């Protein structure tokens, strides 16, 4: 039975979002930052899958506890999939969310609406202390606005427009976003994985 799982992220906004989506699980979600020491997270993988897997395994081995880690990326078709795995640091190391959005909008300044298609993709890894690994992914399609809109959310939420709702993620608000986002879709699969593992008699 899994009673506790460590969340491998230093991003407070992501931590809050993941804990909110997984709140109905009968498991304590413990941020790794709540421990006095924790390993440094370095994303050196070539894919979202590699980054999520490496982070989850590293933290699971360090704390000897089940661990969840994710990696997410905004993939813009006109930019051949950029920023992708570099989404968090698109404007450079230690850049702000605003820096990233400004760079993205500048690159798409003269691009017409019909060519501003994009998707958000998330891969979530669940790792056991013994090295077992389970992956889940989620994706949502949309377009990139020509200007920011909305104040909720974080990251690229103010520029990622969801046609079905005619609003950006930042305009939708956290409750609606967390019901349909790329991360929400991946974490719904994670819920099934965790419930299955908790009901299993196998040792992981």
139 is in an annotated binding site: no
Q: Is 71 a catalytic residue?
A: yes
Going by C-alpha positions, the residue among 195, 146, 151, 145 that lies closest to residue 177 is 151
What is the predicted pLDDT for the residue at 198?
Answer: 75
Alpha-carbon distance 125 to 7, whole Å? 10
What is the predicted pLDDT for the residue at 200?
Answer: 65
10 is in an annotated binding site: yes
82 is in an annotated binding site: no
What is the predicted pLDDT for the residue at 42?
Answer: 81
Residue of 24, 71, 98, 137 with catalytic role: 71
94 is in an annotated binding site: no
Task: Extract long-range pairs of 147-156: CB within 8 Å, 24+ residues apart.
Answer: 147/105, 148/101, 148/105, 152/177, 153/13, 153/177, 154/13, 154/14, 154/97, 155/13, 155/74, 155/87, 155/88, 155/97, 155/100, 156/74, 156/87, 156/97, 156/100, 156/101, 156/104, 156/120
| pLDDT tens figures, 13-69 | 999 999 999 998 888 999 999 998 999 888 889 999 999 999 999 999 999 999 999
Whether the pLDDT of residue 203 is over 80: the answer is no
| pLDDT tens figures, 129-175 | 998 999 999 999 999 999 999 999 899 999 999 999 999 999 998 88
CATH of 4-199 among 3.90.1010.10, 3.40.1080.10, 3.40.640.10, 3.90.950.10: 3.90.950.10
Q: How is the chain split into domains, by residue range?
A: 4-199
pLDDT band at 201 (very low <50, low <70, confident <90, very high): very low
């Amino acid at each position: 039975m899994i009673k506790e799982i460590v969340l491998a992220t230093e991003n407070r906004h992501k931590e809050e979002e993941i804990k909110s989506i997984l709140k109905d699980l009968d498991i304590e979600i413990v941020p790794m930052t709540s421990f006095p020491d924790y390993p440094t997270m370095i994303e050196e993988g070539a894919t979202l899958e590699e980054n999520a897997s490496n982070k989850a395994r590293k933290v699971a081995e360090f704390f000897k506890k089940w661990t969840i880690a994710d990696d997410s990326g905004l993939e813009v078709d006109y930019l051949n999939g950029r920023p992708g795995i570099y989404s968090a640091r698109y404007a450079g190391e230690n850049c702000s969310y605003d820096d990233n959005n400004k760079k993205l909008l500048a690159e798409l300044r003269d691009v017409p609406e019909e060519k501003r298609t994009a998707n958000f993709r998330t891969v979530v890894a669940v790792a056991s202390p013994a090295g077992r690994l389970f992956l889940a992914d989620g994706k949502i399609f949309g377009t990139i606005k020509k200007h920011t809109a909305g104040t909720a959310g974080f990251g690229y939420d103010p520029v990622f427009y969801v046609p079905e709702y005619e609003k950006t993620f930042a305009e939708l608000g956290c409750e609606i976003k967390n019901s349909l986002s790329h991360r929400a879709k991946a974490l719904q699969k994670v819920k099934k994985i965790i419930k299955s593992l908790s009901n299993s008699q196998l040792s992981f």
